[in-house]
């Protein structure tokens, strides 16, 4: 009796274990397994909860120097934005006005995004050249300029996921579209009530690029 | 031979007169045109030079280019829009194109850190995070997976973004040209993940580019497994560098910003990553100061490409109105055209093939006898969604959304045949 059960168990194992292995096996046997070192070099994203934030720290006091050297030539000494480069500071209470100003302080919902973006894409044209500490310093400086943290606050990998940004509640999900009235597929075809008075002309605004004369 | 020469000299005098007259006619009717004089020597009963002489041989252009007479069919940008060309956009000349396929060299460009130049031998795609096996693939690896070939439109969410507050740019190209439509060849992500496996907690994918902006977007796993592709070819040839050579992400029907070019990494995670693009940029600000987030689908839209501000009407009599329609929710079912600003509509002819999440071509014959027209088109997709007017959208979303303006445009045909982008109210 015991021998029979043992045989049955062995039989079941022989039949099912390869199936379990196959389910976990690579279907096409293409590509290679990535090493931890390879992944560490490219996996640079930082999530709102702080996952992915590299070990490091910085405060606004040192950040001001790094900012002046690395950022101010485009974004201005006070984050006001030069030419058409983006403003980084200010804009509070402007989002519901005719001319909203979207800055890290007035609009960005997460401090993690500032770290992530500055490290991966800034300074413009010299991407991924800041050290982790320098990146924390610049983020701390911008948070300080936007009156979100104190000047001596030390921003680091442990607390970047806990910074509360002013506009964190400013975003709506999920997407409510289609939000228009007509999803009947049968719009008006004849004598429709549609305004036909011309109230604006692009030609009058006169910002269309002129064609070069050849 | 001598006889022919005499004929040419004699006709050259006539050409001067006729030529001057036709030149002024073109200058009057066409604001933007590749104006060329008509040469009577080439017209019947004369035999033109291209008939009597040999042309250039094969290999004169190992990679062929369009006729020199088509040199005005080019991408164009609006310089004042952006601070630098490396982080900027240009527009597809849709007013000059026919059918539904956008030629590769005319597909609009949107870069955030310029065009990366990548040797395909050095290309690697990394897949990490919540997968059974974190892996790296070469381009050759990707090409050995089962292949898919699909036509899809790609539209920037900011297409028409300058028109929210009023008609601002006087061009079909500048107001609707952030769209293109090509056939993609690539591997479906649902096939690729058979190789890496997927942990049950994986709900989101971070797609990351290897360009100087490190472009990143979060995409829900349902979309990734539904129809997303990693493409290495467009319209039968390798991706153009400005379209992400050697490999890009294809996210059918969803905003172009998510179609990460020069794709280097896909990370699977259990929550969205809230990247700069999907928080500070591609969110749609409403009048109350709140902003919609994760508005991915491109709603149904259409545009009349001719007549249009760049395509004046040059003759009285019969014309073929042309246009394009598309929807991120599926196939275009019908397109209506109005010539009187939306009072009365007629249904245009839709041309085969009409494919899901692809541009569709429509035409409608019309007579023009010098009268003013207010030309509009209105797309209806297979979900029965009807393309809205700008007034409808403004009522719901105000004027500061920037993105997802899919409203009906109005082209006013003037009595001289020129065409203006106008706003009705």
Please list the helix, strand and coil fractions of chain B in percent, rounded to the nearest 5, in that order: 25, 30, 45
Output phi, psi for A5, to 5 deg: -60, -45
Contact B107, B180 (CB under 8 A): yes
- How far apart are the CA of A31 and the nearest CA of chain B, in angstroms? 4
| Any domain includes B151 | yes
Q: pLDDT tens across A77-100, in order?
A: 999 999 999 999 999 999 999 999
Binary contact (B136, A189; C-beta < 8 A): no
Instruction: Please give the residue of chain B at the shortest CA–CA distance from A195.
Output: B425
Structure tokens at B96: 């000059």
Structural domains of chain B, count: 3
User: In whole angstroms, what is the distance from residue B327 CA to residue B324 CA?
Assistant: 11
pLDDT at A25: 76
Task: Using an 8 Å CB-CB cutoff, list chain B residues near A160.
Answer: none
Write the ipTM. Answer: 0.89
Do residues A197 and A191 make contact, with C-beta atoms less than 8 angstroms apart? no
| Closest-CA distance of chain B to residue A20, Å | 13
What is the spatial distance between Cα A202 and Cα B309, in angstroms, rounded to a whole number? 10
Q: Which residues of A touch B72 (CB under 8 A)?
A: 211
Q: How far is CA A102 from CA A168, B288, B399, B416, in A?
A: 13, 14, 15, 44
CA distance A136 to A140: 6
Least confident of A189-203, B30-44, B135-149, B329-343: B30-44
Residue B254 gets which letter from DSSP?
Answer: B
Centre a 10 Å sphere on the Cβ of residue A47 and count the other Cβ atoms it contains.
Answer: 24
Yes or no, beta carbons of B423 and A28 under 8 Å apart: no
Residues B365 and B409 in one domain: yes
Cα distance between residue A118 and residue A127, in whole Å: 8
Contact A44 B297 (CB under 8 A): no
Q: Which tens digits make up the pLDDT trace of A144-194?
A: 999 999 999 999 999 999 999 999 999 999 999 999 877 788 899 999 999
Residues of A in contact with B77 (CB under 8 A): 209
Q: Does residue B199 sit in the same domain as residue B314?
A: no
Q: Is the pLDDT of residue B378 over 70?
A: yes
| Same domain? B9 vs B142 | no
Asked if A96 and B137 come within 8 Å (Cβ–Cβ), the reply is no
Residues B109, B236 within the same domain: yes
Q: Are residues B230 and B331 in the same domain?
A: no
CA distances from B68 to B50, B62, B65, B72, B104 (A): 15, 16, 8, 9, 18
| A144 or A20, greater pLDDT | A144
Task: State percent of chain B over pLDDT 90.
Answer: 91
The verdict on B250 and B208 lying in the same domain is yes
Instruction: Note whether A104 contacts B167, CB cutoff 8 Å.
Output: no
pLDDT digit string, tens, across residues B132-174: 999 999 999 999 999 999 999 999 999 999 999 999 999 999 9
Do B230 and B355 reside in the same domain of the chain?
A: no
Mean pLDDT of B100-108: 98
Residue of B348, B298, B67, B32 whose CA lies nearest to B172: B32
Instruction: Give the closest of B135, B279, B342 to A31, CB-based.
Output: B135
Nearest-neighbour CA in chain A from B86: distance (Å): 9
Q: What is the dihedral of CA A59, A60, A61, A67, to 10 degrees?
A: 120
Same domain, B247 and B383: no
3-state secondary structure of B13: helix
Compare CB distances from A83 to B72, B83, B393 and report the shortest one's residue: B83
Residues in chain A with CB shorter than 8 Å from the CB of B170 are 202-203, 208
Nearest to B191 by CA among A20, A33, A31, A35: A31
Comparing CB atoms, the residue among B79, B275, B420 nearest residue A201 is B420
Residue A72: its H or E element: helix A72-75
What percentage of chain B has pLDDT greater than the value 70?
A: 92
Backbone φ/ψ region at B164: left (φ over 0), alpha (ψ -120 to 50), beta: alpha
Q: Which residue has the higher pLDDT, A181 or B196?
A: B196
Q: What is the mean pLDDT of chain B?
A: 92
B341 and A120 within 8 Å at the Cβ level: the answer is: no
Asked whether the beta carbons of residue A27 and residue B425 sit closer than 8 angstroms, the reply is no
- Distance between CA atoms of residues A144 and A105, nearest Å: 9
DSSP reduced 3-state for B249: strand
Distance CA A113, CA A167 (A): 13
Q: Is B105 domain-assigned? A: yes
CATH number at residue B358: 2.60.40.650
- pLDDT above 90: residue B17: no
Find chain A residues with C-beta within 8 A of B288's C-beta: 96
pLDDT digits (tens, 9 = 90+) for A28-47: 999 999 999 999 999 999 99
Query: If you measure CA to CA, which chain A residue comes closest to B127?
Result: A34
B285, B315, B350: which is the final residue of a domain?
B285
Give contacts of A47 with chain B, Cβ < 8 Å. 269, 271, 273-274
Q: Where are the alpha helices (DSSP H) in B177-273?
A: 189-196, 221-227
CATH number at B132 reads: 3.90.420.10
Q: Is-cis flag, bond preceding A123, omega within 30?
A: yes
Residues B119 and B248 in one domain: yes
**Considering the domain boundaries, does residue B64 fall inside one?**
no
| Cβ contact B366:B339 at 8 Å | yes
Q: Name the burial class of residue B10, with classes exposed (0-12), middle (13-18) and buried (19+) by CB atoms within 10 angstroms of its CB.
A: exposed
What number of helices (H) and strands (E) belong to chain B?
8, 24
Would you call B361 helix, strand, or coil by DSSP?
strand
The C-alpha R_g of chain B, in whole angstroms, comes to 24
Residue in chain A lying closest to B133 (CA): A33
Residues in chain A: 214
User: Does residue B308 form part of some domain?
Assistant: yes
Give a three-class secondary structure readout of B83-148.
Answer: CECCEEEEECCHHHCCCCCCCHHHCCCEECCCCCCCCHHHCCEEEEECCCCCEEECHHHHHCCCCE
What is the C-alpha separation between A80 and A91, in angstroms, rounded?
10
Of B258, B285, B312, which residue sits at a domain end?
Answer: B285
Q: What pLDDT is stored for residue B3 in this prediction?
A: 41
* Domain match, B324 and B411 both: yes
DSSP conformational letter for B386 = B
A200 to B82: CB separation less than 8 angstroms, yes or no:
no
Domains of chain A: 45-162 (1.10.760.10)
Contact A196 B267 (CB under 8 A): no
Overall pTM surpassing 0.80 (yes/no): yes
**What residues of B are in contact with residue A212 (Cβ under 8 Å)?**
none
Look up residue B4 and give its two tokens.
Answer: 């022919």
d(CA B146, CA B380): 34
Confidence of residue A212 (pLDDT cuts 50, 70, 90): low
Q: Name the residue of chain B whose CA is nearest to A172's CA.
A: B292
> Is 50 exceeded by the pLDDT of residue B255?
yes
**pLDDT per residue as tens digits for the range B225-245:** 999 999 999 999 999 999 999
Which residues partner with B153 through β-bridges?
B181
| Position B352 in a domain | yes
CA atoms of A49 and B271, how far apart (whole Å): 10
Q: Tell me if A192 and B344 make a contact (CB, 8 A cut-off).
A: yes
Is B206 found in the same domain as B144?
yes
Evaluate if residue A26 carries a pLDDT over 90: no
Cβ-based neighbour number of residue B192 at 10 Å: 26
Q: Would B70 be classed as within a structural domain?
A: no
* Closest in B170, B296, B336 to A203, CB measured: B170
Task: Please give the structure tokens belonging to residue B227.
Answer: 């129809």
- Residue to test with chain A: of B168, B266, B310, most A Cβ within 10 A: B168
Range of the domain at B127: 79-285
- A108–B79 CB contact, under 8 Å: no
Which residues contact residue B17 at a Cβ distance below 8 angstroms, ignoring those fewer than 6 apart? none
- Cα dihedral B141/B143/B144/B147 (nearest 10): 140
Is the model's pLDDT at B291 over the cut of 90? yes
Is residue B59 domain-resident? no
Gap from B290 CA to chain A (nearest CA, Å):
5
Domain contains B35: yes
Say which of B84, B166, B174 has its CB closest to residue A200.
B166
Q: Is the dihedral of CA B360, B361, B365, B367 positive or negative?
A: positive
Instruction: Look at residue A130 and tell me whether its pLDDT is greater than 70.
Output: yes
Do both B270 and B325 map to the same domain?
Answer: no
Cβ distance B289 to A95 under 8 Å?
Answer: yes
């Amino acid at each position: 009796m015991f021998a029979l059960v043992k045989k049955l168990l062995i039989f079941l194992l022989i039949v099912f274990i390869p199936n379990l292995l196959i389910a976990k096996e690579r279907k096409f046997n293409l590509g290679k397994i990535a090493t931890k070192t390879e992944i560490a070099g490219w996996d640079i994203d930082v999530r709102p909860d702080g996952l992915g934030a590299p070990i490091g720290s910085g405060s606004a006091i040192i950040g001001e120097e790094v900012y002046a050297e690395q950022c101010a030539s485009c974004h201005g000494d006070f984050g006001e934005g030069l030419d058409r480069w983006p403003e980084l500071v200010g804009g509070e209470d402007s989002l519901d006005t005719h001319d909203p100003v979207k800055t890290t302080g007035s609009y960005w919902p997460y401090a993690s995004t500032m770290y992530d973006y500055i490290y991966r894409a800034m300074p413009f044209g010299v991407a991924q050249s800041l050290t982790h500490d320098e990146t924390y310093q610049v983020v701390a400086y911008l948070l300080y300029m936007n009156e979100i943290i104190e000047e001596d606050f030390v921003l680091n990998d442990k607390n970047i996921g806990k910074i509360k940004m002013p506009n964190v509640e400013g975003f709506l999900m999920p997407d409510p579209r289609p939000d228009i009235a007509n999803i009947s597929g049968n719009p008006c075809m004849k004598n429709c009530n549609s305004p036909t008075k011309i109230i604006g002309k692009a030609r009058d605004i006169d910002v269309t690029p002129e064609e070069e004369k050849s | 031979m001598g006889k022919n020469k005499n004929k040419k000299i004699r006709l050259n005098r006539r050409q001067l007169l006729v030529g001057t007259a036709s030149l002024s006619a073109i200058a009057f009717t066409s604001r933007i045109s590749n104006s060329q004089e008509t040469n009577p020597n080439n017209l019947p009963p004369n035999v033109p030079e291209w008939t009597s002489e040999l042309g250039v041989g094969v290999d004169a252009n190992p990679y062929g280019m369009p006729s020199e007479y088509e040199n005005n069919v080019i991408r164009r940008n609006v310089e004042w829009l952006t601070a630098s060309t490396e982080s900027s956009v240009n527009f597809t000349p849709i007013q000059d194109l026919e059918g539904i396929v956008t030629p590769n060299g005319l597909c609009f460009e949107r870069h955030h850190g310029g065009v990366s130049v990548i040797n395909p031998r050095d290309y690697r795609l990394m897949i990490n995070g919540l997968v059974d096996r974190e892996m790296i693939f070469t381009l050759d690896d990707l090409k050995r997976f089962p292949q898919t070939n699909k036509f899809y439109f790609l539209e920037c969410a900011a297409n028409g973004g300058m028109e929210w507050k009023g008609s601002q740019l006087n061009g079909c190209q500048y107001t609707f040209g952030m769209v293109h439509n090509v056939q993609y060849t690539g591997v479906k992500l649902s096939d690729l993940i058979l190789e890496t496996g997927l942990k049950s907690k994986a709900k989101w994918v971070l797609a990351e580019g290897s360009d100087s902006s490190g472009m990143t977007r979060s995409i829900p796993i349902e979309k990734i497994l539904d129809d997303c592709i990693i493409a290495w070819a467009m319209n039968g040839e390798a991706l153009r560098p400005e379209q992400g050579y050697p490999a890009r992400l294809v996210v059918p029907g969803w905003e172009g910003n998510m179609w990460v070019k020069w794709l280097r990494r896909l990370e699977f995670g259990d929550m969205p990553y809230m990247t700069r693009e999907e928080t500070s940029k591609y969110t749609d600000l409403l009048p109350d100061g709140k902003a919609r987030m994760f508005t991915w689908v491109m709603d149904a839209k259409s545009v009349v490409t001719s007549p249009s501000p760049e395509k004046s009407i040059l003759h009285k009599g019969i014309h073929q109105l042309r246009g394009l329609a598309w929807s991120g929710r599926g196939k275009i079912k019908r397109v209506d055209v109005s010539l009187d600003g939306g009072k009365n509509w007629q249904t245009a002819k839709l041309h085969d093939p009409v494919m899901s999440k692809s541009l569709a071509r429509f035409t409608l014959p019309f007579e023009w006898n010098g009268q003013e027209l207010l030309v509009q088109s209105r797309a209806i997709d297979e979900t029965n969604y009807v393309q809205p007017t700008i007034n409808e959208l403004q009522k719901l979303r105000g004027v500061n959304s920037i993105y997802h303006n899919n409203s009906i445009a109005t082209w006013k045909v003037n009595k001289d045949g020129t065409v203006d982008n106008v706003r009705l109210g």
